[in-house]
Each structure stands twice: as structure tokens, then as C-alpha cells.
């Protein structure tokens, strides 16, 4: 079942499992994420209407929801403590709403895992970048997120998806998909397969660079940060399922692929898909304005490579899912994953063409 097919009655039942004051009114599908199911739920109180975010975790992707929620509790509590003196602190970090049983998850009778968040009002996400201001503000918030989590106390966070950003691992999964051709689609993607094969030699580049492990977000695409409706400021980083140990270059890299091109991730007109240097400059300035002080020289030098590798990796992952018959990402049309793969590979070409200028720019500001 998807967010459109769960009966309203059942959603009401689930929403009422969370400790929200007020009477449940309705829940509507919300947001454009590829993995979880999200609804905006409305509750009526005597004095006001309040909204909440209700999410069913994709258990096929996140195999251990309890460990994932343990990470999220630790991370959100740490962020809230760091923000204690900020005037607007409740809008600057996510807050879980506990279940009526006092848990961070509610498990429905069918085995679905549910959680709820306080709704952050007066801000929204953007699926594609619309301005240089956004290309600065979104990354600035992700950089701040990295800096605020630098002193998260031990123990190490759980790896919610092991080897999540391992490009060699993703490449091996692609080879497997090609070899099995379960959906009979290999013949539809020959140029894309050739593109991937031609770049096999770069897959291990970041793994051998001796970079420090950080607490990273790992899914820093631009629609995972809320931008304030009034000021445009990146106020709150969301989608914390993949917060776990990683390299800063991966977070920066996911921003390169999602915040430097105004076209959508699934744009079919590839002439619109290119890394705009002015947006890259805004992104680099934004990210380094908050994370620059904590990053080592080696990390700064890895950022552009992170952009190329993460973009390549996303292309490989979309291609693999296309070849496997669309079993991982939500798709809304035939060839959706192939279209997404094509935009990523076009961006890789665009990064390759500008790589040394991008590296030079980072050196000039950091």
C-alpha cells in the first residue's frame, strides 16, 4: 500500500496512537520523498488547529527501525540541547512526538512502523533549486548540522544502511543487475551501462583518501532542508534516517548534485541539466560558512570529488533499480528510474568539465 491507498479510517486510528492534544481531523499525503510514506495530519483543538507529520518507515529499506529511531532520538536531543539558547529553537531541530505508550515508534497490527513529528510551520522544502539564495541557505544549514553534531557523545551511531555510500558496493550491485537482467531491460539502457563502465576506475577514490569519519546526514539533497517562508533561511534539516558515520564529502556531494541545477531530478530534457557555476559558488560559500572551521585541509580537498562520486553513485543506483524492475525507489511513470539515471550522468559530465575550476574555487575561499 502507498500513501494514497491507506484508508482514511486507518490513518485516523494510527494518528490517534500519538500523544497529540486535540481531535484528529484528516491526514493527506505529503512531500516528494522516494522512500518513506509521509502524511500531514491535522488535529482540532478548542483554541487552534495543529498539524503533525506522520510517517511510515520503509521497512524494506531500513531493516532495523528500532536502531534507526535510537539514532534519531540521540541526534534530535543533541541538536535541541545545542540550540537551547536560540530564540526560534523549536523550528530549528526536529522533535519527535511520542506514541501514547511513550515510545518513539508505533507498530501497527500489520507490522508497519510509524512515527510522528511536530510540524515546523512557516517553512517548506523545494524539490529543485530556484535561486542562488537557496543554493547558499540550504547548504549553510547542512554545514551547521555537521558542526552541531561534531561533539555528539559516544557510542558511534548505528549504520542504518550498511555501506550506504560505498561506490564500489553500488557498482557491484549494478553488475549483478546487468548479469541477471530480471526485468529484461538491459537492452534499453546500453548507453547508460557503457557510461558507468567507463568510470569504474573512480569508484574507490574517496575510500582510500584517509578522511576522518564524521556524523553526517548522508541524504543532503536540497529537499531535505526546510527554508523559512519569510527570510529564506535554511532553518531545519529533516529526513534523519541516514544520519550515521560518514565523510563530509558525501554531504557536500549530494548538495552538488541537487543544488547546482535548477532542473528536476527526473527532467527529461537533458539540455536543462547542467551544473551552474554560480550556484556551485553559492553552495560552497554556504556550506563552508558553517562547516569550514571544522573541516581539515584534506576534507576540503575532497569536496568536489565527493560531488562527482555521489552524483555518479546516484546514477548507478537509479540505473540498478531500473534494471531490477523498480523495486527500491518509488516511481510514478515508466522509465522513471532511467530518466533519473540520465540526469545524474549528465551532471557527472558537467562536473567533469568544471572539476578543476570548482576545486580552485574551494581553495580560493577555504
Bridge partners, residue 226, by sequence: 236
Size of the site for ligand ADP (CB under 6 A): 16
Give the CB-side neighbour count of residue 79, counting CA atoms within 13 A: 28
Burial 134-160 (b: 16+ CB within 10 A, else e): bbbbbbbbbbbbbbbbeebeeeebbeb
Residue nearest to ligand GN1 (CB): 34
Asked whether the beta carbons of 129 and 224 are under 8 A apart, the reply is no
DSSP label at residue 272: G
Residues 293-352 that bind ligand GN1 (CB under 6 A): 314
Residue 251, interface with ligand GN1 (CB under 6 A)? no
CA distance 221 to 74: 22
Residue 223, interface with ligand ADP (CB under 6 A)? yes
Taking the complex as a whole, the smallest distance from the CB of residue 35 to Mg ion amounts, in Å, to 7
Size of the site for ligand GN1 (CB under 6 A): 11
- Comparing CB distances to ligand ADP, the nearer of 120 and 249 is 120
CA distance 36 to 44: 26
DSSP label at residue 212: P
Q: Select the span of 31-39, 102-110, 181-189, 271-279 touching ligand GN1 (CB under 6 A).
A: 31-39
- Comparing CB distances to ligand GN1, the nearer of 20 and 69 is 69
Taking the complex as a whole, the smallest distance from the CB of residue 197 to ligand GN1 amounts, in Å, to 22
> In the chain, how many H helices and how many E strands?
9, 11
- Comparing CB distances to ligand ADP, the nearer of 119 and 277 is 119
**Interface positions with ligand ADP (CB under 6 A):** 30-31, 33, 35-36, 38, 53, 94, 117, 119-120, 125, 223-224, 238-239
Instruction: By CB under 6 A, name the binding residues for ligand GN1.
Output: 33-35, 61, 219, 221, 224, 239, 242, 265, 314
Amino acid at each position: 500500500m502507498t500513501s494514497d491507498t491507506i484508508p482514511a479510517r486507518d490513518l485516523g486510528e494510527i494518528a490517534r496512537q500519538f500523544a497529540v492534544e486535540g481531535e484528529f481531523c484528516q491526514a493527506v499525503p505529503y512531500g516528494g520523498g522516494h522512500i518513506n510514506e509521509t502524511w500531514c495530519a491535522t488535529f482540532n483543538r478548542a483554541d487552534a488547529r495543529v498539524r503533525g507529520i506522520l510517517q511510515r518507515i520503509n521497512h524494506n529499506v531500513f531493516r532495523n527501525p528500532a536502531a534507526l529511531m535510537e539514532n534519531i532520538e540521540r541526534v534530535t536531543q543533541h541538536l535541541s540541547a545545542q540550540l537551547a539558547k536560540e530564540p526560534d529553537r523549536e523550528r530549528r531541530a526536529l522533535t519527535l512526538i511520542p506514541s501514547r505508550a511513550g515510545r518513539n515508534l508505533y507498530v501497527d497490527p500489520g507490522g508497519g512502523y510509524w512515527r510522528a513529528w511536530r510540524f515546523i510551520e512557516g517553512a517548506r522544502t523545494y524539490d529543485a533549486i530556484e535561486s542562488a539564495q537557496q543554493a547558499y541557505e540550504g547548504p549553510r544549514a547542512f554545514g551547521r548540522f555537521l558542526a552541531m553534531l561534531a561533539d555528539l557523545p559516544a557510542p558511534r551511531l548505528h549504520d542504518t544502511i550498511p555501506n550506504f555510500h560505498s561506490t564500489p558496493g553500488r557498482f557491484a550491485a549494478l553488475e549483478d543487475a546487468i548479469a541477471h537482467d530480471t526485468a529484461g531491460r538491459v537492452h534499453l539502457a546500453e548507453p547508460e551501462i557503457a557510461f558507468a563502465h567507463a568510470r569504474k576506475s573512480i569508484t574507490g577514490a574517496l575510500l582510500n583518501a584517509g578522511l576522518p569519519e564524521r556524523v553526517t546526514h548522508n541524504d543532503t539533497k536540497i529537499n531535505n532542508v526546510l527554508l523559512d517562508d519569510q527570510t529564506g533561511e535554511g532553518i531545519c534539516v529533516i529526513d534523519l534516517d541516514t544520519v550515521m558515520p560518514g565523510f563530509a564529502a558525501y554531504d557536500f556531494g549530494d548538495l552538488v548534485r541537487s543544488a547546482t541545477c535548477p532542473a528536476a531530478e527526473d527532467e527529461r530534457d537533458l539540455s536543462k541539466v547542467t551544473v551552474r557555476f554560480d550556484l556551485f559558488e553559492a553552495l560552497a560559500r554556504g556550506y563552508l560558512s558553517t562547516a569550514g572551521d571544522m573541516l581539515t585541509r584534506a576534507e576540503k580537498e575532497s569536496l568536489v570529488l565527493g560531488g562527482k562520486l555521489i552524483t555518479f553513485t546516484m546514477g548507478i543506483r537509479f540505473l540498478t533499480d531500473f534494471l531490477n524492475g523498480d523495486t527500491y525507489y518509488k516511481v510514478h511513470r515508466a522509465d522513471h528510474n532511467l530518466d533519473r539515471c540520465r540526469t545524474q550522468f549528465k551532471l557527472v559530465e558537467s562536473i567533469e568539465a568544471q572539476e578543476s575550476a570548482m576545486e580552485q574555487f574551494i581553495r580560493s575561499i577555504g
